[in-house]
Amino acid sequence: MGWAKAAVAGTVLGAIAVGCQNKMYDQNKELMDENKALRDQNDAMRKQQAQTPPVQQQPVIPQTPVATAPQTAPPPVTSTPHAPKPVEQIGGLETTVNQRTGDTTVHLPSDVFFDSGQATLKSTAKASLDKVVTALKSGKFASKRIVVEGHTDSTPIRVSKWKSNQELSEARADAVKQYLVSKGVTASRITIKGLGDTVPRSTDLSKNRRVEIIVLAAS
């Protein structure tokens, strides 16, 4: 009877031992399966990373500052160096000075001093011309050489004793010279020129019809 109990006890213990071994085996198998799954997952991630090209960082290009031109003040407006410069009028007539040569020019409008197509001085113009004579005989103009130039417009002469604008311009210049001499200006100081329509002053024809008394800066 005692032997039978021992046999039963041994059988029970053996069964318990077998059961424990089976449980441990199952647990170990689960752990191994989990480890394998983790390893497979890691391998898949490494393969994916290897297949994905690395992102290239764009190089940073330094920005070059745009050069700007230095701000400068605009040049002052100046007159043309050789352009005639208006000065104090002589005899109430337009007077200019050539800035290059220093010559002084008194402009006598032909329409005021002469009738159309004529070379005889109008009596009404002589008062202004007398003041010019006074200036030529005294002060800074005394003894200076004088050139009297006659100019016309480009309109051909049709009714006149003068055959051309050239002849008319010369006759008017000579008329002015003769008047200056009659008022005491030395004849040897005066030279006359007839230039016709070759030296226009303006697109306004009336301004081209003129006689100019030029006092030369150089004696």
What does pLDDT average to over the chain? 81
Domain ranges of the chain: 1-49, 84-215
pLDDT for residue 169 is more than 90: yes
pLDDT value, residue 217: 94
Model pTM score: 0.62
| pLDDT (mean) for 17-21 | 55
**Is the pLDDT higher at 203 or at 19?**
203
Which range of 5-9, 121-125, 174-178 scores highest in mean pLDDT? It is 174-178
Mention the CATH class of domain 84-215: alpha beta
Shortest CA distance to 129 belongs to which of 146, 154, 112, 117?
A: 112
Tokens for 99, please give them. 């800035």
**Is the pLDDT higher at 36 or at 135?**
135
Give the model confidence (pLDDT) of 25-84 as tens digits.
Answer: 667 677 777 767 777 777 777 776 666 655 555 555 656 555 555 555 554 544 444 567
pLDDT value, residue 80: 47
125 neighbors 112 (Cβ within 8 angstroms): yes
Alpha carbon distance 193, 174 (integer Å) = 8
pLDDT for residue 6 is more than 80: no
Going by their DSSP bridges, the two strands 104-109 and 95-98 should be labelled as antiparallel
168 neighbors 115 (Cβ within 8 angstroms): no
Give the list of residues 6+ apart from residue 217 with CB closer than 8 angstroms, or none.
Answer: 101, 102, 103, 104, 144
